Structure 1
């Protein structure tokens, strides 16, 4: 059984995801749906996912299914940056495979890190980090 927490903390407007336990395809899609439900009204999304206390039970073909689920929601955003902090060689290898899989998406960037500090630095280098978007005009201030 897995546990998950999703929240925005402080003024940095980064969505923090903390997960524990074994994550399979259904669990990964559940996390995605929760993020979209709670933060899908934003034009930019910066996600820091701490997966150091979880394991991944996902095959490469299942990663393709997850990729397709992500693509369905990208039309809502001008930029999504997703940093994941990992601690094991297997999860890191799978993360790098997924990073290569999504590299062709212009709106979505994904990167693996071993520390939260490095992940935050990468997120804050996003093209629109700190930019406030108008709700109705879809233009940024």
Structure 2
């Protein structure tokens, strides 16, 4: 099959937009035989770095939440028929990790992400993760806006 994706990455954070992207990623992975679905969750350290208030027990709690989140997605993917599933949890600034450093973590042919949930003022001032991915990714990007 021409233009087949072998390494499909979906970025998840527990949001409604990420859930839509995950559902689409399952469909894409199933259509691309022998592909691997990489479920990536980035623990956002940008707030803790600027405020310096993230205590050790909070870090553990956030880490555990990420582990439960990606394991739940892994289970859903395998139950839906995706045979090759990989999960990745990393810490950092999601915008930077997902747009510029993702290839250091996994091989990637396609990134699937949800459309931004930020309001127009936040988008203007800081930009969205999705916008950064679209601008800087070195592979194809699919931005999911609807459940269809």
Name the TM-score class by shorter chain.
Answer: 0.3 to 0.5
Q: Which structure is higher in strand share?
A: 1
Higher-Rg member (1/2): 2
Q: Which structure is higher in helix share?
A: 2
Taking structure 1 as the reference length, the TM-score comes to 0.34
Taking structure 2 as the reference length, the TM-score comes to 0.33
